[in-house]
Structure 1
C-alpha cells in the first residue's frame, strides 16, 4: 500500500525522537531521514522505524510495598464531632465577655443534643457544657435584675 505525506511525517517524527534519545547516530539518522522522505510504501517506512519505539514506552505500575488490607479489616473511622455542639460551647464560653451569647448557647446546645441523638455524632459533652454556661449566664442576669428590683 502506498504511503501518504502524513505517513512519511510520522515516520520522520519517530526518527527524530530516536535521534534525540541517542538511539541513532548522526550519520544513520540522516541516511534514514533521506530514505523516509523518498519512501513510497508502508513497507519501506516500516523497515526504517522497526527498531525504534513508536510512542511512549509502557512502564509497569509500581507495586505497593505492602498488600492492600480489605476494607472489612480496617478500623471504622471515628464518628464526627457535631458542629452545632462546638458552636454551643463557643457561645457559652464567650458569654462572660459579651453577655448576649448566652441565648444562642442555650439554643445551639438543645439543637446539638437533638442532632447527636439522631445521627450518633460525638460532642454531647460540648453541647452540655454550652447549655450549662448559657443557662448559668441567663440565671445570673435574672438574679441581678431581681436584686436591682428589690433594692429600688
Structure 2
C-alpha cells in the first residue's frame, strides 16, 4: 500500500509554488508597504485608503533645524589663543548657558576651557622661570662685584 496524503480520494494534492516561476516585483512602497511592479498610477487617480500617490510625501519635506551655537562657546575657543584667562571665564559661562538653553557648542566650550587652562598654566610657568632666572642673574652679578653696592657720591 502506498501512503497518500489525507484528503478526499479523488482530489489532487497541493504542490508548493515553483521557486523558478517569475513573480511580479514587490518593491518597497510608501511606509515600507510592498508595491507591485509597474508604472505609477496616473495623476489624480484614486488611491486605496492610507496610500499616497507615487513619489509624494504625506506632509511635505520634513526639515530638521539644528539649535544655534552658543556665542560664549565660540568666544572661549577664540580667546584661548588670544588671552587665555578670558577663555576660562567664557568657557564656564558657556557651559552654564548651554545647560539652561539647550544650545549647541558644548564641545567648543570644553575645548576652550582645556586650552585656556593649558595656555594659562604655560604662561605662569614661563613667567616664574623667567623671574627665577632674572633673580639668579642679579644675585650672581652682585656677588661677583659687577654691581657696586656702595652709593654714588653724586646721590644717584
> If the length of structure 1 is used for normalisation, what is the TM-score?
0.46
Structure of higher RCO (CA pairs closer than 8 Å, 6+ residues apart): 1
The structure with more helix, counted as a fraction of residues = 1
Structure with the greater alpha carbon radius of gyration: 2
> If the length of structure 2 is used for normalisation, what is the TM-score?
0.44
